Amino acid sequence: MKKVTVLLASNSLESLYHCLVISMDAKALGWEAKVFVTSNAVVLFTKRRKGRAGTSMGWLATIYIKLRLRRIGVSSTTKMLEEAMKLGVKFYVDEVGLRIAGMGPEDLMEGVDLSGGVSFLKEAAESDVVVTL
């Protein structure tokens, strides 16, 4: 079975959207898909955020882009994250990033696990495709 590993290090809507598209498409193809989340992206996978993200272009651009996405019929990143989990995409969050954000493992969404650099390197080394966002 082919495998894709995604390293998500940005909490922007753009990065999360591409991360979800790539990992969901991989699962649709029957591949294994693992996403390692680090840096400020960790907050997106907490119970409070559940994949809710803003763009890197500021709040006004975020409102406009979200409105456009809704108008053309594209799902929110929250809904896409739900679907990705249903398809079997595995998400791993860096514990250090989580602690820096003032949160702990109990704040993570159900189905999201903790991980570190060694796990990412091992998975990446065994993957057919590695994507960094």
Partner 1 sequence: MNRGIIESRDVCSMVLAEVVRIWWESQEGDTVVIKTPWKSSIQEVKKWCEETGNIVESVQSERGTYSITVKFRAPRS
Where does this chain touch partner 1 (CB under 8 A) — which range of 48-56, 72-80, 93-101, 112-120? 72-80
Could you say which residues in the range 78-107 bind partner 1, by CB under 8 A?
Answer: 79-80, 83, 86-87
Q: How far is the CB of 36 from partner 1 (least distance, A)?
A: 19
DSSP H or E run through 18: helix 13-28
Q: How far is the CB of 68 from partner 1 (least distance, A)?
A: 13
DSSP 47-115: TTTTT--B-TT-HHHHHHHHHHHHHTTPPPHHHHHHHHHHHT-EEEEEHHHHHHTT--GGGBPTTEEEE
Residue 4 touches partner 1, criterion: CB under 8 A: no
Closest CB to partner 1 among residues 23, 115: 23
Which tokens in the block code for residue 63? 């409102």
The mark string for 22-61 relative to partner 1 (x by CB under 8 A, - otherwise) is --xx-xxxx-------------------------------
Dihedral sign, CA of 38, 44, 45, 51? negative
